[in-house]
Amino acid sequence: MMKQFMMIFIGADYADLGLSPEELQTRMGKWFAWNDKMQQAGFLVGGEALTPDIRRIVGKNRTVTDLTSAEVKEIVGGYYTVKAKDFDAVQEIAQDFPDYDLGATVEIREIMVFDK
Amino acid sequence: MENQLIDHLFRYHSGKMVSVLTRIFGLSNLEIVEDAVQDTFIKASMSWRKQVPENPEAWLTQAAKNRILDIFRKLKTEKNYLPNFYQGANTIAINELFLESEIEDAQLRMIFTACHPKLNAKDRIAFALKTVSGFSSKEIASALLTKEETVKKRLVRARKVIQKENLTFQIPQGKALKKRLESVLEVLYLIFNEGFHSNKKEQLIQEELCGEAMRLCKMLLKNIHTRTSESYALFALMCFHAARLESKTNAQNQILDLEHQDRSLWHYPLIELGNSMMYKAVENNEFSCYHYEAAIASEHLKAKTFNATNWDKILYWYKCLNSLQPMANHLLTMAVICIQKNDLQKADTYLSKLNANDFEQRKYLFYGTKSDFYAAKKNLKKAITHINLAIESVNNQLEKEHLIKKKIKLHQN
């Protein structure tokens, strides 16, 4: 039975790390490779990158704050949805996530299925 | 998409975009421009995670254009910039500035700016590598064997001079062009040499430097005003050297001198290209240092084996070179050639004109040659004294090992 999972990428925004064109390109190459691998194995369902602008609404007063990634160290930069047998299988795919060396994190969550 | 296809795309594109945007915004907004280009790349590296566009270069250009419009809006100074493009006889629309020929023109302007006489000679290379070629400070530092801090200081200093002196973003004309072109060629020559002669482990950056110098030189050859016999000669020289790049190190990344290189690894298409560039370079009779250096390099390439090298001819070219540009290094090389030819009397004449202090950090070259000279004269004692002096004064570990091997050989005789 295949289940669906979400891999959430958390870490600093590329813009705040001051990466050179060359470094960005190397990193991009790694993303391509990872993406290809998942696609070929039939894991990949979808995914998006998120822009670094944040609007946050908090508390019973509905306080609204506009933030940019520079103000928040840990920002969700994007996600993939994948289908896999279990957590272990996703953890295995997540080995190839390219940004660990930048201190980034992958969070894996299973997508809940409700009975009809 | 194949990784190789997008290899260096960002770097090359960064230089192009910085140049084009600088043409629109002016040199005084260089920092805004660099930030804008950086933004474009970040956007690309995020959005291409899912799908690489079919034509990444066009995507980047479009994104950079959009970014300009963004900045225009943000700065609310459209009126200050746009009239330059929409009025007058030389009306040129922003879209047209992104045509291939205009991009090259903008890059040429950037190189000529980087080589402006008001900029400190050392700052020129760093500034050119940054703005024209898209190298990061870290990469420049590693390529030029300096600290990243030093590179950053040089870049800041260059930008300040540009602001203070109000430099224009133009290719000079008339007499000024000739003078400035000399400086441009010199910078390209130095960039290439950094790549070719450095013994660094990070091979990749070194090759990139050579490739970049060649790309820029090729650009000079495309423009009617900068297509001079001197530029042709420099390009020929680069081709000849680059043809040997592969064979310069062995599998263990040790340096191999000409004598020990595998000549079958030489890249013949580049040698041929160099030859045809050389024909163009000698169409008139104005010979530059690059002409002679290219002639020397080509003479080495002509020899099927090291022993077949035509040392007489090489010596002749060195004499020409030295009379045009007298340098201790040339004289030393001439001495080395005479030792090769076993013409020890001539070698002695050259060596007696030199002393160790002429060579600063590279004293070991002088001592090493002296040692070879005495070894050839069978004066073993003096040969060993000099090889010891050479070993004492060398910094580079690889060179040191090379000298120590030589010393052991001397002791075995």
- DSSP letter for each residue of B251-266: TT--B--GGGS-GGGS
Query: Is A111 part of the contact surface with chain B (CB cutoff 8 Å)?
Result: no
Residue A8 CB neighbour total at 10 angstroms: 15
Min Cα–Cα distance to chain B from A3, Å: 21
Q: Which residues of B fall within a CB distance of 8 Å from A35?
A: 49-50
On the CB side of B388, CA atoms within 13 Å amount to: 7
**Is B289 a member of any domain?**
no
Amino acid at A65: T
**Is B52 a member of any domain?**
yes
Residue of A25, A31, A77 lying closest to B10 (CB–CB): A25
Q: Which residues of B fall within a CB distance of 8 Å from A27?
A: 45
Query: Is A98 part of the contact surface with chain B (CB cutoff 8 Å)?
Result: no
The domain boundary, picked from B36, B64, B98, lies at B98
Residue of A21, A32, A49 lying closest to B3 (CB–CB): A32
With an 8 Å Cβ cutoff, are A31 and B3 in contact?
no
Min Cα–Cα distance to chain B from A96, Å: 13
Query: Is B160 part of the contact surface with chain A (CB cutoff 8 Å)?
Result: no
Do A25 and B4 meet the contact criterion of CB atoms below 8 Å apart? no
**Is B51 a member of any domain?**
yes
The domain boundary, picked from B48, B77, B98, lies at B98
The secondary structure element, H or E, covering residue A77 is strand A75-84
Residue B158: the pLDDT is 94
Residue B1: the pLDDT is 43
With an 8 Å Cβ cutoff, are B14 and A21 in contact?
yes
In order of B233, B241, B321, B351, the CA distances from B334 in angstroms are: 22, 20, 11, 9
Question: Is the whole model's pTM more than 0.90, yes or no?
Answer: no
In order of B139, B257, B310, B398, the CA distances from B292 in angstroms are: 31, 21, 15, 29
User: Rounded to an integer, what distance in angstroms lies between the CA atom of residue B132 and that of residue B140?
Assistant: 12
Local structure of residue B283 (DSSP, 8 states): S
Q: Which residues of A fall within a CB distance of 8 Å from B8?
A: 25
**Is B280 a member of any domain?**
no
Q: In the beta sheet, which residues pair with residue A10?
A: A76, A105
Query: Is A25 part of the contact surface with chain B (CB cutoff 8 Å)?
Result: yes
- Cα dihedral A21, A26, A27, A33 sign: positive
Q: Which residues of B fall within a CB distance of 8 Å from A78?
A: 46, 49
User: Rounded to an integer, what distance in angstroms lies between the CA atom of residue B282 and that of residue B230?
Assistant: 9
Residue of A20, A27, A32 lying closest to B136 (CB–CB): A20
- Identify the residue whose tokens are 């560039």: B277
- What CATH number does residue B395 fall under? 1.25.40
With an 8 Å Cβ cutoff, are A28 and B6 in contact?
yes
Per-residue pLDDT tens digits for A13-55: 787 787 777 788 888 888 888 988 998 999 999 888 888 888 9
Residue B266 CB neighbour total at 10 angstroms: 17
Residue A51: the pLDDT is 82
Residue B88: the pLDDT is 43
Residue B37: the pLDDT is 87
User: Rounded to an integer, what distance in angstroms lies between the CA atom of residue A94 and that of residue A42?
Assistant: 15
Containing structural domain, residue B343: 327-413
With an 8 Å Cβ cutoff, are B139 and A32 in contact?
no
**Is B214 a member of any domain?**
no
Residue B83: the pLDDT is 46
The ipTM estimated for the assembled molecules is 0.72
Local structure of residue A111 (DSSP, 8 states): P
The domain boundary, picked from B48, B83, B98, lies at B98
With an 8 Å Cβ cutoff, are A29 and B139 in contact?
no
Q: Which residues of B220-257 are buried (b: 16+ CB within 10 A; e: fewer)?
A: bbeeeebebbbbbbbbbbbbbbbbbbebbeeeeeebee
Residue B318: the pLDDT is 96
Q: What's the average pLDDT block by block, 10 residues per block, for chain B (413 residues)? A: 58 87 84 85 82 83 81 65 47 71 90 93 91 84 83 93 90 91 93 77 71 93 93 97 85 75 90 96 92 95 91 95 93 94 93 89 90 93 94 83 88 80
Per-residue pLDDT tens digits for A50-85: 888 889 999 999 999 998 777 777 889 899 999 999
**Is B90 a member of any domain?**
yes
If one counts the domains in chain B, the total is 2
**Is B404 a member of any domain?**
yes
**Is B376 a member of any domain?**
yes
Task: Count interface pairs A-B at CB distance under 8 A.
Answer: 72
Query: Is B41 part of the contact surface with chain A (CB cutoff 8 Å)?
Result: yes
Q: Which residues of A fall within a CB distance of 8 Å from B44?
A: 24, 28
Residue B90: the pLDDT is 47
Min Cα–Cα distance to chain A from B141, Å: 13
If you measure CA to CA, which chain B residue comes closest to A97?
B49
Query: Is A31 part of the contact surface with chain B (CB cutoff 8 Å)?
Result: yes
With an 8 Å Cβ cutoff, are A78 and B9 in contact?
no
